[in-house]
Each structure stands twice: as C-alpha cells, then as structure tokens.
Amino acid sequence: MSFFTFAWDWVTQAANWHGPGSIPHQVLAHLGYSGLSLLVAALIAIPLGIAIGHTGRGAVFVVNLANAWRAIPTLGLLILLAVLLGFSFVTWLVPLVVLAIPPILVNTYEGVAGVDRGVKDAALGAGMTGWQQVTRVEVPIAMPLILVGLRTAAIFMVATATIAAYIGLGGLGRYIVDGLASDQYGPVAGGALLVIILAVAVLALFAGLSRLIIPAGLRRQGRSE
C-alpha cells in the first residue's frame, strides 16, 4: 500500500472524527501551537527588523546571528528545555519561537532597508518625523517582504509544531508519535497528510492576504526580490 492509501484509509474512518483526540480536536490544537508561536515571534522580530532596517545599526551582526540561529536543532532544544524545566508551556513555545524569528527578522530588515533612498529623502523633505517615515512610507513599501517572512515562518510552525507531541501534548504530531510507537502506519501517514494540507492552506491564506492588503505593483516588487 502507498503512503496516500494508508493516509486516506485512516483519515476517512468516521471514528477518527469524533470524541476526544479526534482529527478536528487535534487540528485546532496544532493551529493553536503554530499560531501562538508565530504571534510571539512576530512581536519580537518585526519591531526589531524595522528598527534595524530604519537605522542601519547592528544590521550585519543581527542578520548574521539570525542566519546562524537557524542551525539550532528544534527537537534538541525541546528536549533540553524538557530536562531543565519539565513539561511546561515554555518547553514547546521557546523552540518554535526560536525557529520562527530568523525568517521574519531578516525579511523585515531587508524590506525596510531596501526602500529607495529617494523615497526616504522625499518623506524627510515633506516634513515627516522618523516615526511617520517608518509607519507611512517604509513599512508599507516593505510589506511584501514582511509577509514573505511571516509566510515562511508560518509554514515552519505548521510543519514543526508536531514536536509538541514529544512532551505529551496534542496536535497532529500526536498521531505520528503514537503511530510510530505502536507500529501503526495509518495514523503516521494520516497525521503527516494533515500537516501537509495545513501547510498548503497557510500558503493559500498568505496569498489571499497579499492580494487583499498589498497593491499589485508592490506584490510584483516582492516577487522580484
């Protein structure tokens, strides 16, 4: 039997859609882990990326640090925190936030720093304050790249939130971990298929957001970067 046959047979079983631990329940839990991690990472990385892009201070250090940060093994960090802190809220949140910060930070910085100097000078000549330049000129122009960073981080979160199951929590990783432990390929394949579907849904969501809030000219600019 193929991967998709195992996955489809398991996903279409009515018993998996009802009661505690059902597919809807675990999908919501998975989205909760992913969404909260993305929110925390965005609250840290977007303001920092804007500040660095606007001022240019610390750009090389922070960007290099963010790129090096990508090499931190998420599962290894989860296990380390579980050993140090036990199975707590922080144990799963920190590794996911660490994974999400670099793409958001780097894309936000590059988007703001890449705003044409002539545009910045025109905003300054129009009497805008530094805050007004950032909020009315630089961030709107940088928005395509900021969304690219958020989209990349969101996909990382959906794919990696499965690690929550390693410390006894729910989410779609629960099916994968339990299936491997019991030598049942159906839940493993089904859980993986649902993760893939969620990742595709995230891509569609950000494509819709891009069309909704970004003018066509800026969307083309974001694709050409």
What pLDDT is recorded for position 225? 46
> pLDDT tens, 45-63?
999 999 999 888 877 888 7
Tell me, yes or no, whether 180 lies in a domain: yes
How many whole angstroms separate alpha carbon 103 and alpha carbon 156? 10
> pLDDT tens, 124-165?
888 788 788 888 889 999 999 999 999 999 999 999 999 999
DSSP string of 39-59? HHHHHHHHHHHHHHHHH-TTH
Q: List the domain range (segments joined by +) for residue 59.
A: 3-10+21-216
Rounded average pLDDT over 160-181: 92
Tell me, yes or no, whether 224 lies in a domain: no
Tell me, yes or no, whether 222 lies in a domain: no
Tell me, yes or no, whether 90 lies in a domain: yes
Tell me, yes or no, whether 15 lies in a domain: no
Tell me, yes or no, whether 119 lies in a domain: yes
Tell me, yes or no, whether 95 lies in a domain: yes
> The CATH number of the domain where 154 resides is what?
1.10.3720.10
Name residue, tokens 């790129």: 67
Q: How many domains does the chain have?
A: 1
With 0.85 as the threshold, say if the pTM is over it.
Answer: yes
